Each structure stands twice: as C-alpha cells, then as structure tokens.
Structure 1
Amino acid sequence: MTRSPVALLLILLAAAVPPLLSACAPVIVAGAAGAALVATDRRSAGAQLDDTTIETKLLTTVAGRYGDTVHFNVTSYNGMVLLTGEVPDAAVRADIYALARGTERVRGVHDELVIGPTTDFSARTNDSYITSKVKSRFVESDKFSTTHVKVVTERSVVYLMGLVSRVEADDAARIASTTSGVVRVVKLFEITG
C-alpha cells in the first residue's frame, strides 16, 4: 500500500512533536503546582503578588542602605509586614520601620527587630530547622491546610501569620509551642469568620 505525501508528513510530525514537547513538561507541571498554591491560599492572587512586591522592595532598599551591618528579614502576609533580624542601633531600627510603613500596600507592621549583633550561621540554621519541624508537625496534625499558615523563626521564636479561623489559630499555636527548640510563639494571625 502506498501512502500519500500528506499522510507521511503527518506521521513524521506525530513522531517528532512529542519529544519536542517533553521539554515543556517541567514548565507545565511547575505552572500547575503554582496555580494550585494560588488557588488554595486564602489571599487573593493580587494580595499574594502585593506581598511578594512588598518583600522584594524592602529587602532591596534595606540591603542597599545598610548592607552587611544588619541581618534583616521581611515577611508580608495580606499586607501585614513582619520585620525580624538584628540591627546595630535604634536609629537603624526606626528607619527600617519607617521604610516598611511607607511602602505601598502595607496595612500594618510588626517590628520584631532586635538591637544587637547579627546572628551567626549556626543560629540561622537552627531557626530554619525549627521552621521545618513546625511545618512538618502541621502536616502530621492534619488540623488545617498548611498553605493557610506562614511560619517564620528568628532566634528560636516562632511567628505565625495567616488568614485563619480562631480554631485554626489555636491549633497552630499549640502545635508550634510544643515543638522542641521553640522558645516562644507569637501569633500574628488575621482571624476570619
């Protein structure tokens, strides 16, 4: 049986296209995962974008102004900003607070900056480990979606942010406070419903 040139072309295209598209698979999977996170977050997509913009602006401004003289973290959740880290003096702390307050779309600022020497690598690694333990315990508890609670740890103090119900806030705080290595838990939730 003889095949027409069009049929042969279609067969060749059918054989050639899948390998070319396979490079797109990671992009498609990553895009789907990102869309799932946006969809399960109680913040609007616009609020999530605003939070990322707030964090980027403040990190860039503070790094440009103070460089290595500060250890500075900023976390924005639904326009509520948490400042953590260490600064050399009260003037720098006040300036960073003013920068945060003056940033577009910021609804409020929780200033937890400490005046003193910056923490070392070991302390920061321990903070990351504590955050991981708290998040793991959230998953194990199956009491609420972990996408609803943001966990930040600085100097073994755990800060909890998110749009949650009263019950979810209490569960998250109880789980965090009973995690080994946690010195204190600070609830910065916005209570819904």
Structure 2
Amino acid sequence: MTRTSLRRSTLSLLVLAAASILPLSGCFPLMAGGAAVTASVASDRRTTGAIVDDEGIEWKVSDKIARQLGDRVHISVTSYNRIVLLTGEAPREENRALAERLARETENVRDVVNEIQIASPSSLGSRMNDANITAQVKARFVNQSQGAFAPNHVKVVTENGVVYLMGLVTRREADAATQIARTTSGVRKVVRVFEYIPEEEARRLDRQGAEPKAPPKNGP
C-alpha cells in the first residue's frame, strides 16, 4: 500500500469514527464529505500521524480548558503539525498561563504559541466578523492568479481582526500568503506561525501527496 493510500484509509476511518461519536457527545465538528476529505488529505504535507494527532490535540486541549476555565474565557485551539496556537481572550494573566500549561502538558504537542489576549471574552458580533474575514482570506487564496501556493497548505485563523497563518511552507509561499491576507478587507494584522521548509522538501512532499492510488488486488 502506498503512503497516500494509507493516509486515505486512515482518514476514512476517522470520518466514520467521528460520525458515530457525534450523536452521543456533540463534541466533534461536522466533517466534510468523503471525497473532499480524501482530496484534502492526499495533498496535505503533514504525515497521516500528524493529521490524526492534530485532530486529537485540538479536542483534548479545548476540553481541558473548558473544564478548568469554563465561560470565563474565550479561547480557540488550533493545532498544525503538533504545534498548538492559542487565540482568544482571558480576563487574567493566570488564566492565560493555565491555558498554555494545559496545552503543553497534552500528549504529542511539540510547541505552543500563546496569542491569548488579556481581555473580556469577545462578542458574538466580533466572532462573526472574524469568521467572515477567514472566509474572505481563504477565497482569495483559491482565486490567486499567480498560483504561488496551494490554498490547502495554509491554515487561516482569525481573532479580533488579526489573521494567523499556519502551515508547512517555503519562504516564498509564506510571503505570497501573507501579502494576500494583509490586503484583505478588515484585517488589522497578520501573524505568521509557519514552519518553513526548503523548496526541494516542499516539492518532495507534494510529489508524495500526488502518488496514484494502488490498484486493488484480485482475489482474497
């Protein structure tokens, strides 16, 4: 079985697992259709293990923060290649520090970038505006005329008008994505949380993601 086939099979199992758990707990977000998930995973530069870990890390850290801090804070947890980005608001410095400690103590977390602001939780209107900015940035990534980078290689998170960009990218790709994000309406600032890789490594990872699926075996 090729690396791509293994990744597709693993994520298919994850989709089924999440679907079976969702009606019971309500803790998992609704996932995209199988075809969309397969296409995204096949071209992802992360390993299958990292993708699986990122999903688990986000859920575990969010659950820990909710249990410890409740509605006193508004903290979003984003994990990419096992690096955790914490964004949002907390009323006290000790709340901010606790959220970071909970994230760092979580299994498989490599590092934590703490961007939590000391402030009251943001309003619903502010969060809706952030969601709109994220959608605009992603749309502009897709519609870029130069094709400087693949849109699914850059993860976009927005908090209070500040756009955070994550991903395994080259310096050239990072610069192109940053330029698009910073010129999007409503964006106050862009923070790069990228992991940088050489151009040769990027091409190697992309070739692996483009490997054709192995043909099915005949017989038992």
User: What residue is the counterpart of 2:14 in the other structure?
Assistant: none
Q: Per-residue CA shift, 1:55-106, capped at 9, x if unaligned?
A: 0001111111111111010000001110001112011111111111111111
Cα distance in 1 for partners of 2:35, 2:157 equals 26
Q: Per-residue CA shift, 1:30-57, capped at 9, x if unaligned?
A: 3232122111110011100100110000
User: What residue is the counterpart of 1:88 in the other structure?
Assistant: 91
1:10-29 matches, cutoff 5 A: none
Instruction: Find the partner of 1:71 among 69, 74, 84.
Output: 74
Cα distance in 1 for partners of 2:70, 2:119 equals 16
Q: Per-residue CA shift, 1:86-138, capped at 9, x if unaligned?
A: 11201111111111111111111110001111100110000001001111111
Q: Would you say 1:49 and 2:52 are equivalent positions?
A: yes
User: What residue is the counterpart of 1:6 in the other structure?
Assistant: none
> Which is higher, the Rg of structure 1 or of structure 2?
1
| Deviation at residue 192 of structure 1 after TM alignment | 1.1
Q: Per-residue CA shift, 1:142-182, capped at 9, x if unaligned?
A: 32211100000001000000001111100000000111110
Cα distance in 2 for partners of 1:88, 1:156 equals 19
Identity %: 52
Cα distance in 2 for partners of 1:125, 1:31 equals 28
Q: Would you say 1:183 and 2:206 are equivalent positions?
A: no
1:87-166 matches, cutoff 5 A: 87-141=90-144, 142-166=147-171
Structure 2 unaligned residues grouped into runs of 5+: 1-18, 20-31, 199-220
Cα distance in 2 for partners of 1:52, 1:43 equals 12
Letter in 1 for 2:49: G
Letter in 1 for 2:155: K
Letter in 2 for 1:169: A
Structure 1 unaligned residues grouped into runs of 5+: 1-26
Which aligned runs of 4 or more in structure 1 are off by greater than 2 angstroms? 29-33
Q: Taking structure 1 as the reference length, what is the TM-score of the superposition? A: 0.83
User: What residue is the counterpart of 1:62 in the other structure?
Assistant: 65
Cα distance in 1 for partners of 2:150, 2:157 equals 17
Q: Taking structure 2 as the reference length, what is the TM-score of the superposition? A: 0.73
Secondary structure at the counterpart of residue 135 of structure 1: helix
149-158 or 37-46: which moved more?
37-46
Secondary structure at the counterpart of residue 103 of structure 1: coil
Structure of higher RCO (CA pairs closer than 8 Å, 6+ residues apart) = 2
Cα distance in 1 for partners of 2:48, 2:62 equals 21
**Alignment size in residue pairs:** 166
CA RMSD of aligned residues (A): 1.4
